[in-house]
Amino acid sequence: MGLLSGSLLALAACGGQNAAPGSSSDAGSGLQANIGPIDVPAGVETTQCVVVPLGNTEDVVLNGYTINLSEGSHHLIVYMTTDAEQDEPINCAPFTGLALGTDEPIVFAGKKQSTWAFPAGIAIDIPAHQMIKIEGHYINTTAGDLQGTGNVSFDTTPKATAPTFQPASFNFFGTTNITIQPNSTYSTGPLFQAGIAGTHFISVNTHQHRLGSGIQVWAGNPGDQTNQIADDMDWSNPSWKLLAPPFDFDGTNGLTFQCAWTNTTDQVVGFGESALNEMCFVGGYYYPSHGMNLCLDGQCRIRP
């Protein structure tokens, strides 16, 4: 399997169906970005994207944010992008910006509500007049219609007056080698991925879908499972936590991770973008930034 799965490549383009508008605004204490409401009928799964101006008229640094997602939300990603404005949501493929490296993620949310603040001296550098893409993935498992929404409130400081900082970006490590037989359990076993030498890992989050029964993550040398930094048994409430102190990557060490599933269906389940498929990802912010660092099955690509 190459760096990108065939399904990610096949679903890379957005297109087609209009829904409710997306927006961004300056809400006084900080910038905000919104998607929805998007109608999600019973039994429907959809991913919708909007591209809107962030609304920053000057260079700013992102110090943190608060996320609020509606019932039925599977994940929400906010990217910095060079795409043209598209404030009416359109059908799009999940994880497109990550898969193709076309956009720089600044927010990844896999839970309904979360708040994040960078440690002092670390932030994300956002140029003036930045366009952002908001990707909302929704699945309605209820008997009635849902209205999918997502809101992100950004805590920013004008770059001209901000204290000295080191820029941060994302690591995303994972595997596409997932085959879970019907009515059975499966584990990847320990997988190792080295980090970028001279960088510092400051947060950890995990991502599985509905059959996930656990992700464990350790920071250290290959084969070393003594320094556990995540042990997530509930796929719907993944870790999103600060590592204090940070873990320092030296080019040899990195993250060991292991994903497990319990397949309660009568179908073989494999890797895929749908919430009815499965994923195994660990990630988090690191600094100083070399760009988004996506590593799948041991193959890495850095988006500068």
At a CB cut-off of 8 Å and minimum separation 6, what does 154 contact? Answer: 30, 31, 32, 33, 54, 62, 64, 65
Q: What is the pLDDT of residue 235?
A: 80
pLDDT, residue 108, reads: 87
Output Rg (C-alpha) for the chain, integer angstroms. Answer: 19
Q: How high is the pLDDT of residue 23?
A: 60
Tell me, what's the pLDDT at 22?
Answer: 61
Whose tokens are 């990108």? That residue is 4
36-71 pLDDT, tens digit each? 899 999 988 899 999 999 999 999 999 999 999 888
CB 173 within 8 A of CB 256: no
Low-confidence spans in the chain with pLDDT less than 70: 1-29, 304
CB atoms inside a 10 Å sphere around CB 10: 10
The model carries a pTM of 0.87
| Largest pairwise CA distance in the chain | 58
Residue with tokens 């008997």: 143
Of the candidates 21, 36, 75, 30, the residue with the CA atom closest to the CA atom of residue 54: 30
CA-based nearest residue to 190, from 215, 227, 208:
215
What are the E-state strand segments in 1-130? 23-26, 31-40, 45-53, 60-69, 73-81, 86-91, 104-109, 113-117, 122-126
